């Protein structure tokens, strides 16, 4: 059995209490597959008021997080886990996606640094961490929710965390395709019926239908993903007929 350990540095440790104590993350921690440790950045401030931010040089709005407490926190955590991969949550980082999540799921130790205010001193990104990652092209008020998104996405890829290992293989972005549509009871909801093929019992037809639907949906919603995919001649033709190839 393998354990993935996350060390999270934040000024709001309380934010992590509930999300990491429910559902899959909670079970993964109980099974010993996931070890999450939250560190209060203010414990690493030498300032008598536990300040961890200051005015930006050159002027500008808001406050910037100091490099020293963050550097001190990382160094302290690394005394136990010197090889930990260290990541700063940042809207200016490389995009976080399923491929990145698979890559991180193979690590043993990850340190996530959560910024706040107007961001963090540039020297954190340059000299204290291995990389910066962004969860999307939008700005949140802090790195805590991005860090939770990373933990939750990576955690479900650790062997043993989900009951059925196949569920992560067939999901959106695994191909890279968006997932095919799923239906459950009732078969008829106000006249909106479940596609006949899904109740036909013919597994080959069901698989063909699911693949076609995944292709169509991806072509419609995320055509950029299709560029990375090897399509059969038949599939290329089908998409051309739909005028989305």
List residues near ligand SAM by CB under 6 A: 89-92, 114-116, 118-120, 134-136, 138-143, 146
Helix (H) or strand (E) holding 206: helix 203-221
Residue with the two structure tokens 């080959």:
204
CB of 55 to ligand SAM, least distance (A): 14
Residue 77 or 120 having the CB closest to ligand SAM = 120
CB of 88 to ligand SAM, least distance (A): 7
Residue with the two structure tokens 């078969």:
187
Residue 154 or 161 having the CB closest to ligand SAM = 154
Taking alpha carbons only, the member of 2, 8, 207, 234 closest to residue 115 is: 8
CB of 240 to ligand SAM, least distance (A): 36
CB of 147 to ligand SAM, least distance (A): 8
Proportion of the chain in helix, strand, coil states, percent, rounded to 5 = 40, 20, 40
Residue 95 or 195 having the CB closest to ligand SAM = 95
Closest residue to ligand SAM, Cβ-based?
A: 115
Helix (H) or strand (E) holding 54: strand 53-54
Residue with the two structure tokens 């709001």:
12
Is the separation of the CB atoms in 55 and 98 below 8 Å? no
Residue 142 or 176 having the CB closest to ligand SAM = 142
């Amino acid at each position: 059995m393998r354990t993935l350990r996350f060390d999270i540095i934040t000024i709001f440790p309380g934010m992590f209490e509930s999300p990491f104590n429910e559902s899959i993350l909670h079970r993964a921690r109980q099974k010993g597959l996931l070890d999450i440790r939250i560190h209060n950045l203010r414990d690493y401030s030498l300032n008598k008021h536990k300040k961890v931010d200051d005015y930006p040089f050159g002027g500008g709005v808001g406050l910037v997080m100091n490099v020293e407490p963050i550097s001190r926190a990382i160094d302290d955590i690394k005394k136990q886990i010197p090889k930990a991969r260290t990541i700063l949550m940042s809207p200016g980082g490389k995009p976080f996606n399923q491929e990145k999540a698979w890559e991180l799921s193979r690590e043993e130790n990850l340190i996530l640094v959560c910024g706040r205010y107007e961001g963090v001193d540039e020297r954190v990104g340059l000299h204290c961490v291995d990389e910066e990652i962004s969860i999307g092209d939008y700005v949140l008020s802090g790195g805590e929710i991005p860090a939770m998104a990373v933990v939750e996405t990576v955690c479900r890829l650790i062997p043993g965390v989900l009951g059925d290992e196949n569920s992560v293989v067939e999901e959106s972005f695994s191909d890279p395709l968006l997932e095919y549509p799923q239906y459950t009871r009732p078969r008829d909801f106000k006249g909106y019926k479940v596609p006949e093929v899904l109740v036909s019992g013919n597994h080959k037809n069901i698989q063909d239908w699911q693949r076609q639907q995944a292709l169509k949906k991806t072509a419609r919603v995320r055509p950029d993903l299709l560029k990375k995919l090897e399509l059969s001649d038949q599939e290329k033709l089908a998409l051309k007929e739909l005028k989305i190839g």
